Amino acid sequence: MSFSSVFNSVEAAWWIFLAALTAMGGHRVRGMTARLQGVFVLGFTAFGISDVIEVYTGAWWRPVSLLMLKAACLVGLAVSIYWLLRNRRA
């Protein structure tokens, strides 16, 4: 196994761990709503799955659908962070 494959496997495990942590304890975070918690769990899980796919394809930009999945994850997580911070200020 190459270094990039090992790194992506560890990264996938990290994202899945974050999804599980958010699913179990996300409700304790100030400003977190149930819907927002679900979006975070979905985003973290999708990012982990995209890293597993990346292990087999060898690149984050091939196939194009993988690139689009990663972009959607990044946008979704960025918007979720924005809403979480907005809820915390309210």
Please give the pLDDT value at position 1: 82
pTM of the predicted structure, to 2 decimals: 0.93
Could you count the other beta carbons within 10 Å of the beta carbon of residue 75? 11
**Residue range 18-68, pLDDT digits in tens:** 999 999 999 999 999 999 999 999 999 999 999 999 999 999 999 999 999
In the numeric block, the tokens 């494959």 are attached to: 5
The total number of structural domains that make up the chain? 1
Please give the pLDDT value at position 13: 98
Q: Are 16 and 29 in contact (CB under 8 A)?
A: no
**Residue range 63-89, pLDDT digits in tens:** 999 999 999 999 999 999 999 999 999
SS3 for 33?
coil
Q: Which domain holds residue 21?
A: 3-89
- The CA R_g of the chain, rounded to the nearest whole Å, is 14
